[in-house]
Amino acid sequence: MKTKISSELIIAILIPVAVGTLSALLSGGTTIYSQINKPAISPPGIVFPIVWTILYILMGISSYLIYVSDSPYKSEALTVYALQLFFNFCWSIIFFGANRFLFAFLWLLVLIVLIAVMIYRFYKISPTAAYLQIPYLAWCLFAAYLNFMIYRLN
């Protein structure tokens, strides 16, 4: 049995992947990560692009499920999705590019709230779309811990 993958799904996946890639490029790379003091449970630098790629793919699939729904609430849900994607985009630039660790932590807290609101809105439309965002929320909570500890240690 052949499965047809729609162009909308591919675009939905490519959007967060492109946003993440552009953010990484504009942040000047992650060289700073190897040079700063980190908490003991910090993963090696190679883990981050792998995890983020998976998370961006899940985000894309999730947003696609909302986009193709017939819900009258999908516009508001996708607006929150776009807003959190903007905050996600800026975080790497603030943290890695500007080395503003405290400001990046505060920015990340706002991002976490936006992710929670997005999950809530997605759940009303598609529980599956909401569940696909749970790893993203969990990773950002872990990132907030790392960010705060890096701020404290540096």
What's the pLDDT band for 7 if we cut at 50, 70, 90?
very high
What proportions of the chain, in percent to the nearest 5, are helix, strand and coil?
80, 0, 20
The predicted structure's pLDDT at residue 5: 79
- Is residue 25 included in any domain, yes or no? no
Give residues with Cβ within 8 angstroms of 102, minimum separation 6.
151
The predicted structure's pLDDT at residue 2: 54
The predicted structure's pLDDT at residue 30: 64
pLDDT digits (tens, 9 = 90+) for 87-98: 999 999 999 999
Section 49-72 average pLDDT = 98
Nearest in space to 90 (alpha carbons), one of 107, 114, 105: 107
- Is residue 38 included in any domain, yes or no? no
Q: Quick one: what percent of the chain has pLDDT higher than 90?
A: 91
The span from the CA of 74 to the CA of 70, in Å, is 8
Instruction: Give the domain extent around 95.
Output: 7-20+43-153
Do the Cβ atoms of 146 and 42 come closer than 8 Å?
Answer: yes
Assess whether pLDDT exceeds 60 at residue 60. yes
- Is residue 32 included in any domain, yes or no? no
- Is residue 37 included in any domain, yes or no? no
The predicted structure's pLDDT at residue 130: 98
The span from the CA of 15 to the CA of 61, in Å, is 11
- Is residue 28 included in any domain, yes or no? no
pLDDT digits (tens, 9 = 90+) for 102-146: 999 999 999 999 999 999 999 999 999 999 999 999 999 999 999
- Is residue 27 included in any domain, yes or no? no
The predicted structure's pLDDT at residue 39: 95
Using the structure block, give the residue that is written with the tokens 């047809």. 4
Contacts 24+ apart (CB under 8 A), 45-49: 49/24
The span from the CA of 105 to the CA of 144, in Å, is 6
Nearest in space to 24 (alpha carbons), one of 74, 106, 89: 89
Domain count, the chain: 1
Assess whether pLDDT exceeds 60 at residue 1. no
- Is residue 118 included in any domain, yes or no? yes
- Is residue 89 included in any domain, yes or no? yes
